[in-house]
């Protein structure tokens, strides 16, 4: 297949591109390569994709990178018209809950305007399936655990979360009006090698090696359903291959939040094993071989106390359930971090 991966220089997009090319797909990766964090890390990820291709077997696909801004309407229209993609995986987004509190409008440009351009491109060019990244943050004030895609998610507590919820709603209208199959994936705290410097593991590791204290919010008591990068990507690939179908049993009298009479679906991808933040940090200390000094602080605005994914729909529809333990995942991250940043 010919697949568009947006955010291809990102944490998830780069790994997904490797996997798709290795199995034989032709991938066009796009990214704006902005300076929200290290441009060098983004270029290193793109180089890693090329290295993966060079080592792949005879049935490998191809990868082309194009620098483009999702918010550039004309450029996105031209891209879709010229390339004629079979499927699209939208991973491009302005990420981060805390940054959305400081710079909310950047989330509107990328996560709402940019996503509208993706939807229009798919609509006008007969894309067979659009899959897009949502987030566990959409659950907001919901405290019913584990979080289910059939729960109401109308009370987000950050603009990042609201922008992701907006994407789900926008996708539904295109599925309903234009019969465009769309699937939203609510990721639960993705971590692993090559992650972003503003994410917890890299922030903690950097501070530990520099001998600085780390800020630990909610006094380290909140729990997250940490999900390893390889598990996330495996889930994406399976969902991409499983084109969204209407739910024939959907009823407007008792509307289901996770399905639709249109070809529209939502899935959680999480590890189903919430881990307390302090335990997460202790595991990182173990594999870095260093102890962190900790500033214990209250819960930050926009953060939810706990996350916990119900993945029953994912298991039923694509026969997949993430299973990498935090122990194994952090061990892999620590090995990568020490090599990439040359900490011997």
Catalytic residues: 160
Q: Which two tokens stand for residue 141?
A: 């004030």
Dihedral of alpha carbons 172, 175, 178, 181, sign: positive
Distances (CA, A) of 31 to 4, 7, 17: 11, 5, 12
Strands 129-135 and 182-187, by their bridges, are parallel
- The full DSSP string for 83-120 is H--SEEEE------HHHHHH-HHHHIIIIIIHHHHHHH
d(C-alpha 280, C-alpha 265), whole Å? 32
d(C-alpha 144, C-alpha 139), whole Å? 9
Q: Which two tokens stand for residue 131?
A: 């899959």
d(C-alpha 185, C-alpha 187), whole Å? 6
Burial of 145 (C-beta count, 10 Å sphere; 0-12/13-18/19+) = middle
Rg of the chain (C-alpha set): 19
């Amino acid at each position: 297949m010919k697949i568009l991966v947006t955010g291809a220089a990102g944490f998830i997009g780069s790994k997904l591109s490797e996997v798709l090319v290795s199995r034989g797909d032709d991938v066009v990766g796009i990214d704006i390569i902005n300076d929200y964090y290290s441009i060098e890390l983004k270029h290193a990820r793109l180089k890693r994709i090329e290295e993966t291709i060079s080592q792949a077997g005879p049935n490998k696909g191809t990868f082309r990178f194009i620098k483009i801004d999702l918010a550039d309407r004309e450029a996105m229209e031209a891209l879709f018209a010229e390339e004629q993609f079979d499927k699209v995986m939208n991973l491009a987004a302005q990420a981060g809950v805390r940054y959305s509190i400081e710079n909310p409008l950047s989330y509107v440009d990328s996560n709402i305007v940019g996503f509208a351009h993706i939807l229009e491109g798919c609509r006008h060019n007969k894309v067979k399936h659009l899959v897009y990244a949502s987030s566990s943050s959409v659950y907001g004030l919901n405290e019913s655990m584990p979080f289910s895609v059939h729960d109401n998610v109308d009370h987000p507590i950050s603009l990042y979360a609201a922008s992701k919820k907006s994407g789900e709603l926008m996708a539904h209208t295109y599925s309903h009006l234009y019969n465009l199959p769309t699937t939203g994936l609510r990721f639960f705290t993705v971590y692993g090698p090559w992650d972003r410097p503003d994410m917890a593991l890299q922030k903690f590791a950097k501070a530990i090696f520099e001998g600085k204290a780390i800020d630990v919010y909610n006094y380290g008591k909140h729990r997250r359903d940490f999900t390893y990068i390889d598990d996330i990507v495996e889930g994406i690939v399976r969902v991409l291959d499983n084109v969204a179908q209407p739910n024939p049993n959907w009823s407007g009298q008792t509307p289901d939040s996770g399905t639709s009479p249109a070809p529209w679906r939502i899935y959680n991808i999480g590890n189903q094993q919430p881990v307390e933040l302090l335990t997460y940090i202790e595991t990182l200390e173990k594999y870095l071989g260093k102890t962190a000094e900790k500033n214990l602080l209250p819960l930050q605005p926009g953060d939810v106390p706990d996350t916990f994914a119900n993945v029953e729909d994912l298991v039923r529809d694509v026969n997949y359930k993430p299973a990498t333990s935090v122990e194994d995942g952090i061990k892999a991250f620590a090995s990568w971090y020490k090599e990439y940043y040359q900490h011997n």
